[in-house]
Chain A
Amino acid sequence: MTDIVFKFSTNSSASDSGSGEDASSDRDASSPDNGIEAGLASPEIKSPVPKSPTKTSGGKKKGYASNPTKATRVVHTANRTLYTAGRPPWYDTHGQLKNAFVIGISGGSASGKTTVANKIIEALDVPWVSLLSMDSFYKVLNSEQHEQAARNEYNFDHPDAFDVPLLAATLQRLKEGKNVDVPVYNFNTHARDPHMKTLYGANVIVFEGIMSFTSKELLKLMDLKVFVDTDSDVRLARRLKRDITERGRDLEGVLKQYSTFVKPSFEHYIEPTMTAADIIVPRGGENDVAINLIVMHVHNQLLARGFKLRNKLANFEHKDEPMPDSLYVLVKTPQVHGIHTFIRNQETNRDEFIFYSKRLMHLLFEFAMSLLPFKSVTVETQPGIEYSGKRLSDIKMAGVSILRAGETMEQALREVIKDISIGKILIQTNLDTGEPELHYLRLPKDIRDYHIFLMDATVATGAAAMMAIRVLLDHDVPEENITLCSLLMAESGVHSVAYAFPKLKIVTTDVDKEVNEKFHILPGIGNYGDRFFGTDFTESQV
C-alpha cells in the first residue's frame, strides 16, 4: 500500500535540491547504480570546462515538507482564503479537471529560490501544494560522463544537463491535477534511484530551478513566473560560506569554479531569462513585500477559479429526466423493504441500526458482484461428471471507502470478496463553504489495474462521491472499472454522478426523491455516520 497522508498543512514535495540550506546528505554514498534508466544517458556535453556540479551534496527532502503544522486552519479573512484544511474540488460540476496554478521560480545559484518558494507556500496557507524541483530532472550520465563529473568536468550548469521532455510531461500532468512519479536523482551515482517519489495532484504547484525559464515548453505551463534577483556578491558570499564551512571545500577551488563556470553560466543562460518573468523579487527571501504581493495575487486567482459545487449539484435540474442506464437498484423484496423500514426509522436503536445496515450491505455487494464480467468454465464435480459453470473473469478487485460512513461497508465487502484490499479516502464537508474537501488518501499500489468498489453509505448531492471518483481517475483507474456502492442515494446525486461519469456503474438499494437545504436525503435515513458510530446528540442515553 502506498501511504500518502495529506496532513492539514503538509505540502507534498519531491524536491531533491541540494539547496543552500540543506547541507547534510541523507543519501547513501555507496548506493548501487541500478537506476531504472541508468545507461540511457544523453551524451550531450557542451562545455569541457572542468567543474563540479553546483549541487554537489546529496539531495535532501525539503525541510518544509515536514514543517511544524498549525493545529487548526481557519478561514483567512486578510488574505481572503476560503480553504481550511482539505483539498477543495479541483474539477467542475461535470467532473472535468481544471488546471492547477503553477508558480515558476527561477534565479541564479544561491539566490534564495528555495527560501522564496518556502515563504510563498507558508504565506499561501493553502494545502495541496506540491513543490517540484528541477534538480530531480538532471539527466542520467553514462560511465564516461560519470567520470567527467567525478573530475568536476561535467557541466551541470547548462540547460542541456536537464531532461526537459520528461520535466515538461511531469509538469503538464501535475497541472492537470494528476499524480506523477518524480525521479529521485542521486548526485553520487548521477543516476536515478530505482524508486520514484509520487507527487499527488495539487491545486498549486511551485516549480523551482536555476534553468526553469530556459525552455519555452516549460514557460507555457506556468501561470506566474517569479525571478529571484539577488546581487551576485551576495550569491558568491553565500556559496563561499556554504561550500567551505558546510561542504569542506577549499577557497581556491570554490572561487575557481565560480569564476570559470557558475558566473558565465548565470550571465549566459539564467540572467537573460529574467525578461520572461512576471515578477522580479530583489533580495530573495527577505523581501516580504514582494512575497505578500505574490501571495495576494495567487489567492485572487484561486478564488476566481473556485467552484461552488454542492449547491450547484443539489439544484441540478434533472427533474423530468429518466434514471440513467448506469444505475442499478437492488430488487425491493419484502426483506429489503423491511430492512429499509428498520434503518430509516428514527426510533430504531443503534444496535438494530447497525445489524440491519450490515445485512443490507451484504445484499448490496452480492448484487454489485453480479454486474461484473464472468466467463464460462467447465469443472469436474464428481469423477467423470462435468458441470458447466461460471467463474469471475481475471480481474483484480479492491474496495475504496469514503470515510467516515463508507468505512462501515468494508466488513460486508470482505464477506463477499475474499481477501480484498481496501483503500480509504477521507472527504469532509467544510462547514464554512459547504464544499467537500479531500484530507487523506490511502490506496492500494497499482490501483489502476483494479476494479474498484467505491463505498459510501449515502449519496445526496454526489459531491463527495464525485471527488472520490476524481481521485481514482487521477490515479489512472478507468472510469468503467469503478462501481459506486451505496445504501441510499438521492435522485440529484444519481444524475450528477451519472452525468459526470457515464461509464461508471452506480449500485444502490434505494433512490429517494429529494435533498433538503442541509443536503440531507428526504425522506432519507438521517446522518448515517452519526447513527452508526453513535456520535449524534439525540442518542446520548444509549
Chain B
Amino acid sequence: MNPDVIPSVPTLDDELFKTSLKVLRVTESVRELQTMMRDKSTSRSDFIFYADRLIRLVVEEGLNQLPYRECVITTPTGQTYNGLQYEKGNCGVSIMRSGEAMELGLRDCCRSIRLGKILITSDEDTHEAKSVYAKVPHDICHRKVLLMYPIMNTGNTVVKAVNVLQEHYVNEKNIILLNLFCTPQAVKQIQTKFPGLTIVTTEIHHVTPNHFGQKYFGTD
C-alpha cells in the first residue's frame, strides 16, 4: 500500500520532529494526487480537481489535531453509542494568496468556522517577507488556529505569518499549519523557531510545485 519513500525526506531522529510534524499517510491514491499536481502537463481543470482532493485530506488530518472529549449519545434505535465531541473555539487563517485556495476545503468540513486572512509579500529589494495586511477574529488568542499555506520553500512567509499571530497573542502551541508540499529546510526553520507549532503536510521534498498559485487561480 505504501509507495516508495522519497530519498530526500529528512531523518526523523529529532524528538521535536516526531511530535510536531504530521505527514499524511501516503497511499498510492494520495501519491497520485501529488503526481497530478506536480506534473507540468496537467490541465488547469484537473489541477484544481486534484488539488481540492488533496487539500480536503490535509484539512481532515489537521482537524484530527484538534481537542475533543468523550460523550455518550442515543441513536434512533434507542441504543447508546460512545462517541466523541469536538471542542468549540477554533478558527482558520489563510496566508494570501495561495492559502485562500484551502479555505473552501476547510469550509467543506467546518461550515461556519471563522476565517482570518494575512497578506505577506516579499520586499522587492531585500526579499524579506513583510506583513501587509491582517484581519483575524478579535478573540483569536483564545482559539486554536488552522494556518493555511499550501507550498513552503524557505518557510519565511509562514514564519512572518506566525509572527503576526503572535502579535495577536496567539500561543504557538495553538497553531496547526496546514500545508501540501514543503522542503526540509522549511520544516527545519519552523521547528527551530516555533517548536510548539504542529505542521500537517503531505510531502517533504527538495523541490516543491511552485506553480500552485498561478495554476490554481489561473494567473499564469
Contact B29–A374 (Cβ < 8 Å): yes
B41 partner residues in chain A, CB cutoff 8 A: 379-380
B31 partner residues in chain A, CB cutoff 8 A: 374, 389-390
B46 partner residues in chain A, CB cutoff 8 A: 418
B109 partner residues in chain A, CB cutoff 8 A: 359
Contact B32–A341 (Cβ < 8 Å): no
Q: Looking at the complex, which one of A359, A366, A525 makes contact with B75 (CB distance below 8 Å)? A: A525
Contact A526–B77 (Cβ < 8 Å): yes
Tell me the chain B residues, 6-54 only, with Cβ under 8 Å from chain A.
Answer: 27-32, 34-35, 38-41, 46, 49, 53
Chain B residues touching A, range = 35 or more
Which stretch (A65-73, A228-236, A243-251, A330-338) binds chain B?
A330-338
Contact B35–A389 (Cβ < 8 Å): yes
Complex Cα spacing A10 to B181, Å: 57
How many whole Å from B127's CB to the nearest CB in chain A?
20
**B100 lies within 8 A of chain A by Cβ:** no
**A382 lies within 8 A of chain B by Cβ:** yes
> Taking CB as reference atom, which chain B residue is nearest A348?
B73
How many whole Å from A172's CB to the nearest CB in chain B?
41
Contact A524–B76 (Cβ < 8 Å): yes
B63 partner residues in chain A, CB cutoff 8 A: 335
Tell me the chain A residues, 393-423 only, with Cβ under 8 Å from chain B.
Answer: 415-416, 418
A381 partner residues in chain B, CB cutoff 8 A: 38-40, 207, 209
Tell me the chain A residues, 489-542 only, with Cβ under 8 Å from chain B.
Answer: 516, 520-527, 531
Contact B83–A344 (Cβ < 8 Å): yes
Complex Cα spacing A527 to B77, Å: 9
Tell me the chain A residues, 349-372 only, with Cβ under 8 Å from chain B.
Answer: 355, 359, 362-363, 366, 369-370, 372
B126 partner residues in chain A, CB cutoff 8 A: none
**A345 lies within 8 A of chain B by Cβ:** yes
B83 partner residues in chain A, CB cutoff 8 A: 337-338, 340-341, 344-345
A382 partner residues in chain B, CB cutoff 8 A: 40, 207, 210
Complex Cα spacing A521 to B79, Å: 10
Residue from the set B40, B46, B80 with the largest chain A CB neighbour count within 10 Å = B40
Contact A372–B29 (Cβ < 8 Å): yes
Residue from the set A369, A381, A388 with the largest chain B CB neighbour count within 10 Å = A381
**B218 lies within 8 A of chain A by Cβ:** no
How many whole Å from B2's CB to the nearest CB in chain A?
10
Contact A341–B79 (Cβ < 8 Å): no
A220 partner residues in chain B, CB cutoff 8 A: none
Interface of B is mostly: mixed
Contact B64–A334 (Cβ < 8 Å): yes
Contact B29–A369 (Cβ < 8 Å): yes
B85 partner residues in chain A, CB cutoff 8 A: 338, 341
Per-residue interface assignment for chain B, residues 76 to 91, with 1 indicating a CB less than 8 Å from any chain A CB and 0 otherwise = 1101110111100000
**B60 lies within 8 A of chain A by Cβ:** yes
How many whole Å from B104's CB to the nearest CB in chain A?
12
Contact B32–A389 (Cβ < 8 Å): yes
Complex Cα spacing A334 to B86, Å: 9
**B111 lies within 8 A of chain A by Cβ:** yes
Contact B77–A341 (Cβ < 8 Å): no
B34 partner residues in chain A, CB cutoff 8 A: 389
Contact B40–A391 (Cβ < 8 Å): no
Tell me the chain B residues, 86-144 only, with Cβ under 8 Å from chain A.
Answer: 86, 108-109, 111
Q: Looking at the complex, which one of A366, A525, A527 makes contact with B53 (CB distance below 8 Å)? A: A366
Given contacts A362-B56, A380-B40, A522-B79, contact A370 B207 (CB under 8 A): no
Complex Cα spacing A526 to B78, Å: 9
B32 partner residues in chain A, CB cutoff 8 A: 374, 389-392
**A252 lies within 8 A of chain B by Cβ:** no
How many whole Å from A370's CB to the nearest CB in chain B?
4
Contact B38–A418 (Cβ < 8 Å): no
Complex Cα spacing A347 to B74, Å: 8
Binding site for B on A (CB under 8 A): 333-335, 337-338, 340-341, 344-347, 355, 359, 362-363, 366, 369-370, 372, 374, 377, 379-382, 385, 387-392, 415-416, 418, 516, 520-527, 531
Binding site for A on B (CB under 8 A): 1, 3-4, 27-32, 34-35, 38-41, 46, 49, 53, 56-57, 60-61, 63-64, 66, 68, 71, 73-77, 79-81, 83-86, 108-109, 111, 207, 209-210
